[in-house]
Amino acid sequence: MSETPLVRIRDVKKHFVADRSFFGRPRRWVRAVDGVSLDIAEGETLGLVGESGCGKSTLGRVVLRLHEPTAGQIFYGDQEITHLSGSKMRPLRHKMQIIFQDPYGSLNPRMTVRAAVAEALRQRVSGLVSSEEEDRVGDLLERVGLRREHMRRYPHEFSGGQRQRIGIARALAVDPRFIVADEPISALDVSVQAQIVNLLMDLQDELSLSYLFIAHDLTVVEYISHRVAVMYLGRVVELAPASAIYASPRHPYTKALLSAVPIMDPSKRRKRILLEGDVPSPLDPPRGCTFHPRCPLAEQGLCDREAPELKAAEEGHLVSCHLAE
Amino acid sequence: MDPRAFRRFKKNKGALFGAFLVTIVLLVAFVGPFVSSQDPNEQYRTQLLTDEGVPRGPMVVPGHLLGGDTIGRDELARLLHGGAVSMQVAIFATALTVLIGLYVGVTSGFFGGLYDSVLMRLVDVLLSMPFLLVAIAINRVVDNPALSALYVLLGLISWTTLARVTRAKTMQVREMEYVQAARALGLSRTRIVFRHVLPNVLGPAIVIGTTLVAQMIIVESAMSYLGLGVQPPRASWGSMLREGQEMMAHAPRLMLYPAAFIVMAVFGFNLLGEGLRDAFDPKD
C-alpha cells in the first residue's frame, strides 16, 4: 500500500429533499450521508458495512459523482473532483467504476453482452475496427471467467453470477484504478458469492485495483477487506483494520453487529447483543450520538447531548463513542 | 435491423397476419385510387338509384361493381378514394403524435426539474380542453383547411397521453442500474437517452401508437362532420360510415364496407405493433 491515498473523501454530506413546500422550497431533508471522511489507498479494499438505509450505497455513488454531494470534498489522487464539470469529469470516469448489486437491473436488456462491453471499451480507446473490438471484448470476458462466445447473447440468457461477471467486465473495459462494489454479492447464491469475491480479489492482485466494498455481510467483508468502516445513520462510527474490527470491536454498534454473525462451531457460543428499537429515521436523527436511543451503554446527560467525534482509540483504529475505551 | 429481431418477427403468426392486413389496407388506400376507373364524386342517379331513391346493390349494374351509395355515387370508387384520405390522416397524425409524445415524455422524464414541470402543466392544459371545441374554434379561424392541416392539428392535440405514459416509464428506466452504469462510464447524455432509455420505453409507445391509428380514422370522420378536414363530396371511410347510417335499414352494406376496412386497419396495425414490440424485445 502506498502512502498517498488514491481516493480521499472529506466530510462528505448528501442530503436528499424529502418534502417541498408549495413553492418548491425544501421543507425536510433526509440526511443519507452526514459527514463522512475516508481514505482508500492504492491496492486497498475498504469494506463499508451497515444496516440497510444507513447511507452506504449513497456514499458509494456520491464518490463517483453519480449523486452530487451536498457538502464536503472528494479527491482522486491530488485532484479534487467534487465540482468538476461533466466534460472535465469524463476522463476521470474511466478511473473510477462501479459494480452493482442487482445483476438483473445492471445490464440493459436490449443490448448484447458484446454491445454493452464494447460501449464501455470505446470510451477509452477509439477507432477500433470491428474485429479488434471483438477481440478485446472476448479477452475481457475471459478475464472475468466467461467464454468468448457469450458475447453474442443477451443478459437474460445468463445466471445471476454470470451477469455479475459481465458487469465486472464492463467496468474493467475502461481500465479503472478504483471500483465501488455496491453489494456485488448480496443478490447471489452463497456458492456463487465466493466465486465472485475470489474473482474480485484476483483482479485486485493482477491490476492493483482499489475497492470500496459495500456489503452487509460481515464475514465476506472480513475476508476481502484490508480495513473496514462501519456506518450508522449516515456516519462512520468505527474504522479499523479488518482484523482489529473483528478481534476487538470498540463501538457498541459494531459489537452488536458482530454478535449477530453466526458461528459455525456450535461449541463456541457468543453472547448475542440484541439492539432494541428500529433505526431512527434519517429525516430526524436523534440529538447527540445518533446511536444513543438503542445503545446499551448510553449515559444520560452525555450521549443524548453531545455528538461524539471519530477519534483514534489506538493507532489506526477510529471510534466515534464517548464511552469506548 | 437486427436479423434476430426479424427472425422473431417471422415466427410470430399474429404479427405476420397483422402485416398482411396492413398491406392490404395500404394497397387499397394508396394504389386503389389509381386503379379505379370511376369518378368517386359523380352521381349516377338513373343507373345507381331505384325510383324510390334506394341505392342499387353490388353486381347489379355493369361497371359499378359495388353498386351505388346513398345519392347514387359509385361505392367502390368512394371506398378506394376514401381509403387514401383516411389512411393518410391516420398514419401522419399518428406519426406526429408518437414523435411529439415520445420526445416530450422521454426528455421530461429523463431531465425532470422545471422543464418537466412546465411540460406536464402544458399537458394538463391540453387535456382539460375538450377536443371538439378546439376543433371548432380552429375551424372558425382557418377557412377551408387542407388535409395536412387536419393531421397536424390531430397530432398537436393527441400527444398528451403518450407523453405521460412514456414519461412514467422513462422515470422508471432512468433509475435502473444500467443507466447509472452508463453514467459512471461517462457516456454522453444523448447516447444514454438513445441507447439505454429510448429502447426500453418504446414498448408501451408502440402499443399506444397502434391503437391511435384506429382512433384517428374515427376522429377524422367526426372532424369532417364539423367541417374541418375532408369536405363533402370528398370521401373518407369515416364519413362514408356516417353517410351509410342514413340508409342503414335499406342498405346496411353501405356501412359494412367502410367498417370492414376500418376494422382491418385497426386489427392489422394492432397485431403489427405488438409483433414489432415483441420482436425487438430480446426476452421473447
Express each pLDDT in B65-89 by its tens digit: 787 777 778 888 899 998 898 899 8
Mean pLDDT of A214-237: 90
Q: Among the listed ranges A93-107, A213-227, A259-273, B93-107, which one has the minimum average pLDDT value?
A: A259-273
H-only helix segments in A72-112: 86-93
The grid coordinates of residue A2 equal 502506498
- A66 contacts on B by Cβ (under 8 Å): 180, 183-184
What is the SS3 assignment for A262-309? CCCCCCCCCCCCCCCCCCCCCCCCCCCCCCHHHCCCCCCCCCCCCCCC
How sure is the predictor about A273, in pLDDT bands with cuts at 50, 70 and 90? confident
Among residues B40, B41, B76, the alpha carbon closest in space to that of B56 is found at: B76
Bond from prior residue into A91 cis (ω within 30 degrees of 0):
no
Q: Is B113 on the interface with A (CB under 8 A)?
A: no
Across chain B, what does the average pLDDT equal? Answer: 85
Indicate yes or no: CB of B186 within 8 angstroms of CB of A98. Answer: no
Write down the CATH number for the domain with range A7-95+176-319.
3.40.50.300
Is the pLDDT reported for residue B278 higher than 50? Answer: yes
d(CA B28, CA B30): 6
Q: Find chain A residues with C-beta within 8 A of B181's C-beta.
A: 98, 100, 106, 167, 170-171
* C-alpha cell of residue A225: 477487506
Decide if A262 touches B, using CB distance below 8 A: no
Quick one: pLDDT at residue A100?
92
- The answer to whether the Cβ–Cβ distance between A94 and B186 falls below 8 Å is yes
- The beta-carbon neighbor of B177 closest among A102, A119, A171 is A102
Q: Tell which residue, B148, B254, B267, has the closest CA to residue B211.
A: B267
Residue A71 sits at the vertex; the CA angle it makes with A66 and A77, to the nearest 5 degrees, is: 65
Lowest mean pLDDT among A140-154, B100-114, B200-214: B200-214
- Count of CB atoms situated within 10 Å of the CB of A106: 26
pLDDT of residue A325: 62
Task: Note the maximum CA span of chain B.
Answer: 80
Q: Considering Cα of A120, then A123, then A128, then A132, what sign does the dihedral take?
A: negative
Question: What is the ipTM metric for this complex?
Answer: 0.87
**Chain A nearest-CA residue for B5:** A110
Q: What pLDDT shows up at residue B143?
A: 67
Of the candidates B203, A206, A108, the residue with the CA atom closest to the CA atom of residue A118: A108
B-chain CB neighbours of A171 within 8 Å are: 181
- Residue B181 has its nearest CB partner, among A90, A91, A170, at A170
Tell me which amino acid residue A41 is. Answer: A
Of A296-300, B112-116, B225-229, which has the strongest mean pLDDT?
Answer: B112-116
Please determine, for residue A124, whether its predicted confidence score (pLDDT) is greater than 50: yes
Closest CA to A26 of A18, A38, A34: A18
Q: Which of B93, B83, B29 is nearest to B235 (CA)?
A: B83
Q: What sign does the CA torsion over B229, B233, B234, B236 have?
A: positive
User: Residue B185: which of A61, A93, A101 has the nearest Cβ?
Assistant: A93
Q: Which residue has the higher pLDDT, B172 or A271?
A: B172
Q: Which three cell numbers stand for residue A43?
A: 491496492
**A166 with A158: CB under 8 angstroms?**
yes
* Helices B198-225, B131-141: inter-axial angle, 10-degree rounding: 60
Domain range list for chain B = 32-279
Q: What is the mean pLDDT of chain A?
A: 89
Q: Does residue A262 carry a pLDDT above 80?
A: no
pLDDT at A275 over 90: no
CB contact under 8 A, B195 and A119: yes
* CA nearest to A100 within chain B: B177
What residues of chain B, 190 to 229, have a C-beta less than 8 Å from chain A?
Answer: 195-196, 199-200
**CB-based contact (8 Å) between A181 and chain B?**
no
- For A235, A292, B264, the CA distances from A307, given in Å and listed in that order, are 11, 10, 73
- A115 has pLDDT over 70: yes
Note whether A89 contacts B196, CB cutoff 8 Å: no
Task: State the smallest CA–CA distance between residue B282 and chain A in angstroms.
Answer: 6
Residue B229 banded pLDDT, cuts 50, 70, 90: low
Predicted confidence at residue B177, as pLDDT, reads 92
Q: Is the pLDDT of residue A311 over 80?
A: yes
Report residue A1's pLDDT band, with 50, 70 and 90 as the boundaries: very low
Please state the rounded mean pLDDT for residues A20-41. 86
- What residue segments make up the domains of chain A, in order of their start? 7-95+176-319
pLDDT band (50, 70, 90) for residue B141: confident
- Which pLDDT band holds residue B245 (cuts at 50, 70, 90)? confident
Does pTM top 0.90 for this prediction? no
For domain B32-279, the question of CATH label 1.10.3720.10 is answered with yes
Report, as an integer, the average pLDDT of B84-109.
93
Put simply, whether B185 touches A (Cβ < 8 Å) is yes
pLDDT tier for residue A228 given thresholds of 50, 70 and 90: very high
pLDDT by residue (tens digit) across B3-36?
A: 777 888 888 888 999 999 999 999 988 988 888 7
Query: What DSSP assignment string belongs to chain B?
Result: --HHHHHHHHH-HHHHHHHHHHHHHHHHHHTHHHH--S-TT-B-HHHHB-TTSPBP-TTTSTT-TT-B-TTSBBHHHHHHHHHHHHHHHHHHHHHHHHHHHHHHHHHHHHH-HHHHHHHHHHHHHHHHS-HHHHHHHHHHHSSS--HHHHHHHHHHHHHHHHHHHHHHHHHHHHTSHHHHHHHHTT--HHHIIIIIIHHHHHHHHHHHHHHHHHHHHHHHHHHHHTTSSSPTTS--HHHHHHHHHTTTTT-THHHHHHHHHHHHHHHHHHHHHHHHHHHT-TT-
How far apart (Å, rounded) are the C-alpha atoms in residues A249 and A98?
Answer: 29
Count CB-CB contacts under 10 A for residue B50.
11
Mean pLDDT of B219-226: 75
Percent of chain B with pLDDT over 90: 32
* The three-state (H, E, C) secondary structure of A188-218, written as one string: CCHHHHHHHHHHHHHHHHHHCCEEEEEECCH
Inter-chain CB proximity B186 and A93 less than 8 Å: yes
